[in-house]
């Protein structure tokens, strides 16, 4: 059932992939999502199913065993998955960002070593920029790497790693002093390390501890953790791209495609909220008629559907721009900002349509209501998107007087 959020100009292969994913979401995710979410249970069967569908390798080039698909295909799959359960899209998102960073910036040896097993879903990625004292202000990172022979020694604490426990490869951004004299701009003295580890909690590798899951308001099922480095030794060939000082740019490149991904999640969650709202509005009766027949409710549905369409169009535009090889930071920032704000509003309207029942854990909208706010924060808050958008607008519309 979907007249909204159609995408024109897709290839047969894209349409086939999307129809397979939608089918999987309807049969394997939606029926179990709310129950698993309430138990904060990791959806192992769903993850196994995604592995079988090849989704962990969707954008990894075919030469490494992936499907070699575009960002648009990926984003549309994410939209479908988030429509079923946003946490599942979180499980593939950090993996996708790390694979993308490896593809774009990794040495040949790093690509050969990681990408085939990432495509198969046997190695799963997490990425780590945030620390307890910072999220938006990445330049303030205080975790450090110091060179010691052919290795680097890493110390510091990281925060908010999605898939921190279940992953076996973490891309970690730290300050590195080697080759960067005192006074070097912060973004030029950061390095991304590819840190391999055992999945799980506790000391997962000498010098590396994943303390446990952070208890969250929503976005449950997927693990979000801290990461503590205490004398963690990483070989020099695990510097992403083989050269220090490029980490900030590599991470920002990853986050940019991640923003399209978060926009896609906002679209998926909003679509589901609309579906739930429009169904409930035709079941519930007040004052002798379906509530859908009250103009106030119809207006809500109209506003919700318009927001779903607008967010989808902007998300598709941002993905297509990146796929064409053009810079897309403006479009990705706008899409992420709009889709996450609209998602929160559409979910709130669907919640209101449900009346008191929306407050009951028996109704799916209760889960969506707790999930939507995460999208306002992840991959950069609304304020950070507006800073990016504003800066770019001033570049494009420079006053010539
Ligand atoms: C569930 C979850 C999963 C996450 N997963 C990951 C992950 O996998 N990897 C990772 O590295 N991080 C992850 N994060 C962290 C996330 O990226 C940060 O929370 C986010 O970037 C915001 O940073 P902060 O929480 O430190 O807020 P702050 O940066 O402290 O911001 C607080 C408030 O101030 C505003 N603000 C900050 N600076 C400015 C400014 N210059 N102008 C105007 N307003 C400003 C912000 O918009 C916000 O409203 C995750 C977070 C959550 C909640």
CA of 258 to the centre of ligand 1 (A): 14
Ligand 1 lined by 162 (C-beta under 6 Å): yes
Q: Which residues are catalytic?
A: 379
Q: What are the domain boundaries of the chain?
A: 12-119, 125-244, 249-396
The residue with greater pLDDT, 182 or 142, is 142
Looking at residue 180, what is its pLDDT? 65
Q: Does the fold of domain 249-396 match that of domain 125-244?
A: no
Instruction: State how far the Cα of 160 lies from the Cα of 337, in Å rounded to an integer.
Output: 21
CA of 128 to the centre of ligand 1 (A): 12
Ligand 1 atom closest to residue 383's alpha carbon, by position in its atom list: 47
Residue nearest to atom 42 of ligand 1 (CA): 383
Q: For 130-146, what is the mean pLDDT?
A: 96
Q: For 54-81, what is the mean pLDDT?
A: 97
CA of 383 to the centre of ligand 1 (A): 10
Ligand 1 lined by 134 (C-beta under 6 Å): yes
Q: Could you tell me what percent of the chain has a pLDDT over 70?
A: 99
Q: Does domain 249-396 correspond to CATH entry 1.20.140.10?
A: yes
DSSP 363: S
Is the pLDDT at 372 greater than 80, yes or no? Answer: yes
CA of 378 to the centre of ligand 1 (A): 7
Q: For 66-82, what is the mean pLDDT?
A: 97
Mean pLDDT value across the chain: 96
The per-residue pLDDT for range 180-201, each reduced to its tens digit, is 666 778 788 999 999 999 999 9
Is the pLDDT at 3 greater than 70, yes or no? Answer: yes
Q: Does domain 12-119 correspond to CATH entry 1.10.3720.10?
A: no
- Render 55-81 in DSSP notation, one character per residue: GGGTTS-GGGTS----HHHHHHHHHHH
User: 22: number of CA atoms within 13 Å, CB side?
Assistant: 13
Looking at residue 385, what is its pLDDT? 96
Alpha-carbon distances, residue 102 vs 14, 51, 239 (angstroms): 24, 20, 11
Looking at residue 1, what is its pLDDT? 55
User: 44: number of CA atoms within 13 Å, CB side?
Assistant: 2
Contact 140, 186 (CB under 8 A): yes
Q: Does domain 125-244 correspond to CATH entry 1.10.10.10?
A: no
Is the pLDDT at 177 greater than 90, yes or no? Answer: no
The per-residue pLDDT for range 5-64, each reduced to its tens digit, is 999 999 999 999 999 999 999 999 999 999 999 999 999 999 999 999 999 999 999 999
Q: For 253-258, what is the mean pLDDT?
A: 91
Closest of 251, 197, 201 to residue 224, by C-alpha: 201
> How much is the pTM?
0.96
Q: Could you tell me what percent of the chain has a pLDDT over 90?
A: 95
Residue nearest to atom 13 of ligand 1 (CA): 160
Ligand 1 pocket test, candidate residues 160, 336, 340, most atoms within 8 A of CB: 160
């Amino acid at each position: 059932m979907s007249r909204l959020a159609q995408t024109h100009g897709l290839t047969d292969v894209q349409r086939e992939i999307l129809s397979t994913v939608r089918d999987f979401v309807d049969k394997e995710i939606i029926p179990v999502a709310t129950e698993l979410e309430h138990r904060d249970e990791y959806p192992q069967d769903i993850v196994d199913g995604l592995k079988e569908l090849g989704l962990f390798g969707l954008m990894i080039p075919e030469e490494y065993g992936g499907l070699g698909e575009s960002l648009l295909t990926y984003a549309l799959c994410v939209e479908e998955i988030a429509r079923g359960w946003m946490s599942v899209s979180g499980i593939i998102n950090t993996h996708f960002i790390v694979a993308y960073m490896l593809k774009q910036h990794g040495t040949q040896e790093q690509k050969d070593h990681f990408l085939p097993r990432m495509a198969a879903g046997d190695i799963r990625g997490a990425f780590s920029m945030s620390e307890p004292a910072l999220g938006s202000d990445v330049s303030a990172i205080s975790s450090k790497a110091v060179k010691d022979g052919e290795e680097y020694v890493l110390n510091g604490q990281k925060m908010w790693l999605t898939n921190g426990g279940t992953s076996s490869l973490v891309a970690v951004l730290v300050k590195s002093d080697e080759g960067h004299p005192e006074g070097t701009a912060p973004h030029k003295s950061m390095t991304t390390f590819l840190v391999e580890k055992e999945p799980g909690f506790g000391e997962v590798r000498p010098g590396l501890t994943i303390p446990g899951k952070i208890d969250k308001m929503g976005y449950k099922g997927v693990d979000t953790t801290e990461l503590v480095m205490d004398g963690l030794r990483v070989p020099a060939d695990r510097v992403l791209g083989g050269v220090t000082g490029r980490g900030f740019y590599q991470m920002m490149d990853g986050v940019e495609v991640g923003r399209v991904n978060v926009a896609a999640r906002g679209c998926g969650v909003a679509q589901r909220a609309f579906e739930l709202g429009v169904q409930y509005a035709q079941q519930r009766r007040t004052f002798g008629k379906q509530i859908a027949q009250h103009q106030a409710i119809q207006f809500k549905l109209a506003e919700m559907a318009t927001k779903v369409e607008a967010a989808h169009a902007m998300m598709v535009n941002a993905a297509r721009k990146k796929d064409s090889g053009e810079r897309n930071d403006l479009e990705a920032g706008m899409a992420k900002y709009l889709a996450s704000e609209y998602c929160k509003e559409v979910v709130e309207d669907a919640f209101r349509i449900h009346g008191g029942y929306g407050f009951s854990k028996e109704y799916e909208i209760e889960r969506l209501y707790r999930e939507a706010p995460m999208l306002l924060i992840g991959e950069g808050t609304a304020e950070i998107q507006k800073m990016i958008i504003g800066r770019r607008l001033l570049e494009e519309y420079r006053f010539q007087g």
